[in-house]
Amino acid sequence: MENPTIFKAYRGSFLDFVADPFFVPELDSIRYIPDGLLIVENGKIKEFGSYEHLQPEYPDLEFITYSNKLIVPGFVDLHVHYPQTEMIASDSNQLLDWLDKYTFLTESKFKNLDYSKQIAEFFIDELLKNGTTTAVVLAAVFRESVEAFFEAANQRNLRMIAGKVMMDRHAPEYLLDTAQSSYEDSQKLIEKWHHKNRLLYAVTPRFAITSTPEQLHLAGKLLQEYPDVYLHTHLSENLNEIKFVAELFPDSLDYLQVYEQFGLVGNQSIFAHGIHLSDSEFQRLSETQAAIAFCPTSNLFLGSGLFKLHQAKSKEYPISVALATDVGGGTSFSLLQTASEAYKVTHLQGQNLSGLQALFLATLGGAKALKLDDKIGNFDICKEADFVVLNPQATPLLTLRTQGKIPAQTREEIADLIFALIILGDDRAVAATYILGEQAYIRNA
């Protein structure tokens, strides 16, 4: 028996992107419908347009109305560590010391499946509360941590990407795998979870410091055997890290070449940070169509440096970039707050990041970085109906700044509203989050 057709309909003000505002006039990159209607059929977008135009086609369909709210596509977090949730805001020195002092000890708890399930549920609650509907997630070194996360994500029908950390050196003994065991564990996890409903797998060596050449070789072998899985790791986050990598791989031209020589750089590769990349590394990432996760709150919190966003988004060698919270080095699950810090990072370098550009990096830009823009990222027909309802009156200050209303018509006004939401907004601005057209979170006043 075929499943019955289920329709859902939502009326409100809608904003999404149809182009990249870094490369076209930004007001031409958006689609803004002040009074719109979104029709969802069995979790996918069937119709999208003005209420006046579409409503007569569905005269008997009941719809949910969001007055004085703004509906945008679900947020995409390109890099986040779910086992580090409980150690967020742990004071320390820079990256390597922070890992030794807090991270490794915390991640050791995730050999326990029940504990992993507990944190996975809390972590996903936080994502949804902040409007994040898709994330690229690092688990711990233990298979149990991945099983727990994927099980929790699958139960909620989420579009998620995750993987087991591969780590066979330069970490405490209790946290190490081996090159062979990491390969076999990853293989089993790929076979079980990759393409299960909306789930996808990422081969995840932590970074070059904690993987032997043998382990990186086997990571590359996994990519050859399963060519549509992702590669997810760290790159050029911290100057001491880069120095250590150069000592461990003296024959490599630079940090990126360490990954290149093992076949880990391609159009499904996601590299977190990329703060201290050379011009050559930027060019090679562009040529291979790899993506960079821009993690401003983490980069500032750990004193790692300022990411060169405008070089990454240059017309000569453009790179797919999207925002990432990088919890627990990052200090918030909110991609609105993350975008606010991204604005400041660019400003410190004499550049400017507009509100629309920042929102693009959190929505369609994230989908493009993941090569999933045929499925998520905007309100195009047939895409998966993951979206967020934002409340520009979530706080008294936002209400004052936005004059308590959604702009009636002009794109200039909506651009100003978006900037205010990004600079002043946080989880309180998320009124509701929808997954496949079904409410997954609602904020209680």
Per residue in 33-92, pLDDT (tens digit) is 999 999 999 999 999 999 999 999 998 889 999 999 999 999 999 999 999 898 888 787
Nearest to 271 by CA among 363, 316, 206: 206
Q: Categorize the per-residue pLDDT at 408 as very low, low, confident or very high, splitting at 50, 70 and 90.
A: low
Q: Rounded to an integer, what distance in angstroms lies between the CA atom of residue 413 and that of residue 175?
A: 52
Angle, helices 335-347 vs 411-424, to 10°: value is 100
Which residues touch 295 (CB under 8 Å, ≥6 apart)?
A: 79, 272, 273, 307, 323, 324, 325, 326, 329, 330, 338
Contact 181, 211 (CB under 8 A): no
Q: Which pLDDT value is given to residue 397?
A: 96
Arithmetic mean of pLDDT, 345-349: 97
Question: What pLDDT, in 10s, does the model give residues 146-187?
Answer: 999 999 999 999 999 999 999 999 999 999 999 999 999 999
Q: Which pLDDT value is given to residue 208?
A: 97
Confirm whether pTM is higher than 0.75. yes
Does pLDDT of 94 surpass 80? no
- For the chain, what percent of residues have pLDDT higher than 70? 98
The burial class, CB within 10 Å (0-12 / 13-18 / 19+), for 400 is exposed
Q: Categorize the per-residue pLDDT at 2 as very low, low, confident or very high, splitting at 50, 70 and 90.
A: low
Q: Which pLDDT value is given to residue 189?
A: 98
Q: Which pLDDT value is given to residue 335?
A: 98
Arithmetic mean of pLDDT, 322-337: 96
Question: What pLDDT, in 10s, does the model give residues 206-254?
Answer: 999 999 999 999 999 999 999 999 999 999 999 999 999 999 999 999 9
